A and B are shown apart, each in its own frame.
Chain A
Amino acid sequence: MKEMSIDVPVEPPAEFKSLFIPIPPEYVEDAYKKDEFMILVGPQHGGSGHMRIIVRLKGDVIVDALPDPGYVHRGMEKLAENKLYIQNIPLLERPAIMDCANYNLGYVRAIEQMLDIEVPERAKYIRTILAELCRVGTHLYDAGILAIFLGHSTGFMWPFAMRELICEALMKVSGARVTASYIIPGGVRRDVSKSVLEYIREVTFFIEKKAKDFEKVFIKNPVTIARMKDVGVLTKKDAIRLGVVGPFLRATGVEYDVRAIEPYDAYDQLDWDVVTADDGDSYSRFLVRVEEISQSLRIIRQAINRLRTMPEGKVISEDLLGKIKDKEKASRDIKGNFYRIFGRLTLPAGEVTTLTEASRGTLLYTLVSDGESTSPYRLRIVTPGWLYLKGFMESLKGSRLADLQAIYGSFGYFPPEADR
């Protein structure tokens, strides 16, 4: 179709000057000279999280998208330098509270590697269960947000209702519905009783059953497919170049999962598959995570089966207990001895980096210790949200403005996670 241009001098809107927009004014002028215009999506918008996306549009098609994150930056890295090692555990699950176990796991493993201690077998399985529960919870959360971005309110309510059971399971295990703070250096806080394990097992079956209804109503809905198929395509090459991580990288056909490549905890002893897809569009990004839910449920069930045969007790490493008298009791439940063990914990000087497969992708912790302080000298956190932000912006190009929400939801972008 022949393109027609109308030569009307258009002034860039005043808000690009009056608001603080982190792009050069020449860029805005250039856009308005070229028969294009720019709109701001967020940070106060029904279809954006706590972030702003500066969208450059030609008609209805997105030419360029620039992120303006940082609205929920809390300075986790700096805060971590002023707290005891053990106090950082509740802090570091705040970037993504629904994904608390994975966020704890990375940090705690860094401490363990520095102390060079081995975690008891039972604790490893409990950690794995918790991490996978959080993964299911996060994927359900993201599916709900995606559904409401597409206007499907039933698809929003059902995953949240399913996630309620996971909150309940976390509560039974740790006492907290979302921020569990349950994983500690050397193991977990306390042992999990048999009845709780049975409850978690039942939850996995229930979620599997309900996920089938969800599939009928939302996933296989023709309108959903029409909205998401071939929308926001990110090619394999681009995804690797831009450093996309997690399910979004796997959706482009790259088989990369930290759990499989550098297994930690009990992942190498369990039978599960790395889920991949080939298309790299919004729909496959969504489907990969849906399939990951069933893989996670599979992992949880296997881990529970192993735990059933294991003797109860002993979930904290003996190396940490030191001078505590009743070691038998303390290794079953840390309660009462917590600050005696961890209050003055100092790590040997050095630097350790751990990679964890959090729900939304690879999570990196780098812990630097000076060898004499009770708090980290430096803690570097690179969250998956931050890593795939570039890929997210890349995939927006060439889509329509109405697709912005579909792509946003398909990435499950969570500003608090990316901003830390």
Chain B
Amino acid sequence: MFAELMEMFRGNAVEIPILQPIIDALMGIPLVNFVVSFLLWKPLFAILFAPGLAALMVAMLFIIWFERKVTARVQWRYGPLEISRSLGGLIQPLADGMRYLFQEVIVHREAHKPLFIQLPLLSFIPVLLPFLFIPAGTIYAIRTPYALPLIVALISLVPMLIVLIGWASNSKYAYLGSMREVFMYFGYEVALIVVVMAMVLMYGSADLIEIVEKQKSLPGILFNPIACIAFFMVTAMATSRFPFEIPEADQEVVFGPFIEYTGIMFGIVMTLGYEKLYLLSLLFSILFLGGWNGPTIAILGDLSPALWLFLKTVVLMMMFVFLRTVYPRFRLDQAIKFGWTTLLSLSVISLAVAAVIRLVGWL
């Protein structure tokens, strides 16, 4: 059975020429070779490394540092610096994470204890499951024609978890924050789905690999820029970026649903927004920026497209976090109005544009 499994793993393994000598050396050791080939098995590699967990963690650590640093530079400050001075404080988020780990986790008396503790951990499910369906070049776990609807459905689960977290906290401001999250959810969700439908209509497929194939010559942003604008704003709204940082508004509802969390629990729920941002940016770069299309770097092999996808995603995330320095925050009713008027009409227009492109047959 071992041999059969090995065969299966080896048959669908990630090829990385630059690491080949190391892999070959490890293959000589019994048992280790099984682990290595298991890790290099494409479905697992997609979830664990790129575009999955490891890439997510790297992107998140970088983007939290970048957000703090760029905001500080705009505001005539230094930003994170003391930890790893030579790197400009690059590992500050890591240090913060360590600090969270050693802090006491307080569960207050009013909380619904089981839910309060398990929900932050459960929140990883809707964040990590979409990686099953997001390919990076040849690296993918499951290829299905329903990939896009599945991803959107899974991402839509995140607000549910935030609302549950607020409910389990059982405190006034957490309640206000989760209500705001619910309202925001209603504000952007329809527009998000309509935009995604427009792109599916335009490409004639919901299979992400096929979508990227179709953008070989020109990226999708040139065909349907309105959908791109709408998706950008939806992403800002869905991930509580400024100017829509309404559910967590610390001056108004003091971190909203997450008000009662401390220690590593707070660390986990705080990153929820960034994880969602990573996912939506991945979708953005696949739908509009040509995904992993880019000059092939021979030495990286299968990792080359994954790297292009990662770079595009991170640049997008940088654009999103930069909004913090420019915008104050909308009021809840203004944001919902924005969602149901501007965003919805933009997305409907983009649907029309997609239909025209489909009918003319440009793609």
Contacts and interface: CB of A to CB of B under 8 A. Distances in A.
Contacts of B325: 153-154
Contacts of A245: none
Q: Among B243, B325, B328, find the residue whose CB has the most chain A CB atoms closer than 10 A.
A: B328
A158 interface: yes
Contacts of A224: 328
B327 to A, nearest CB: 5
A403 interface: yes
B333 interface: yes
Given A39-B172, A223-B243, A151 B74 contact: no
B359 interface: no
Contacts of A47: 251-252, 254
Contacts of B243: 151, 223
Nearest to B334: A226
Nearest to A48: B251
Given A161-B76, A223-B328, A154 B71 contact: yes
Contacts of A217: 326
B99 interface: no
Contact of B331 (A45, A148, A161, A402): A402
Given A154-B71, A154-B74, A227-B331, A405 B252 contact: yes
B76 A226 contact: no
Contact of A150 (B77, B172, B326, B328): B328
Contacts of A227: 328-331, 334
A223 B76 contact: no
Contacts of A147: 328
A402 B71 CA distance: 24
A400 interface: yes
Given A45-B254, A46-B250, A223-B243, A151 B75 contact: no
A264 interface: no
A218 B245 CA distance: 17
B25 to A, nearest CB: 50
B55 interface: no
Interface in B326-359: 326-334
Interface string A378-420: 0000000000000000000000111111000000000000000
A149 B172 CA distance: 20
Interface string A67-92: 00000000000000000000000000
A408 to B, nearest CB: 9
Contacts of B76: 157-158, 161
A157 B172 contact: no
A61 B75 CA distance: 34
A155 interface: yes
A282 B330 CA distance: 15
A223 B251 contact: no
Interface string A141-183: 0000001111111111110010000000000000000000000
Contacts of A221: 326-328
Interface in B206-253: 242-243, 245, 249-252
A45 B71 CA distance: 24
B: interface residue count bin: 20 to 34
A157 B77 contact: yes
Contacts of B329: 150-152, 223, 227
Contacts of B327: 152, 221, 223
A154 B75 contact: yes
B197 to A, nearest CB: 29
A155 B334 CA distance: 21
B243 to A, nearest CB: 5
Contacts of B333: 60, 400
Given A151-B245, A155-B328, A402 B75 contact: no
Interface string A45-69: 1110000000000001000000000
Given A157-B76, A161-B76, A151 B242 contact: yes
A404 B329 CA distance: 14
A372 B81 CA distance: 61
A30 B339 CA distance: 37
A47 B254 CA distance: 8
A143 B342 CA distance: 30
Interface string A176-216: 00000000000000000000000000000000000000000
Contacts of A403: 331
Nearest to B245: A151
Contacts of A218: 328
A147 B325 CA distance: 12
A154 B334 contact: no
A153 B75 contact: yes
Contacts of B324: 153
B71 A149 contact: no
B251 A148 contact: yes
Interface centre among B75, B77, B252, B330 (most CB of A within 10 A): B252
A150 B249 CA distance: 9
A413 B245 CA distance: 25
A212 to B, nearest CB: 15
A240 B252 CA distance: 30
B250 to A, nearest CB: 5
Interface in A271-301: none
B75 A152 contact: no
Interface string B55-91: 0000000000000000100111100000000000000
21 contacts: A47-B251, A60-B332, A147-B328, A148-B251, A150-B329, A152-B328, A153-B75, A153-B325, A154-B74, A221-B327, A221-B328, A223-B243, A223-B329, A224-B328, A226-B334, A227-B328, A401-B252, A402-B252, A403-B331, A404-B252, A405-B251
Interface of B: 71, 74-77, 172, 242-243, 245, 249-252, 254, 324-334
Given A150-B329, A154-B71, A217-B326, 7 more contacts: A151-B243, A151-B245, A153-B71, A153-B324, A154-B75, A221-B327, A227-B328
Closest 3 CB pairs of A and B: A151-B329, A157-B75, A152-B328
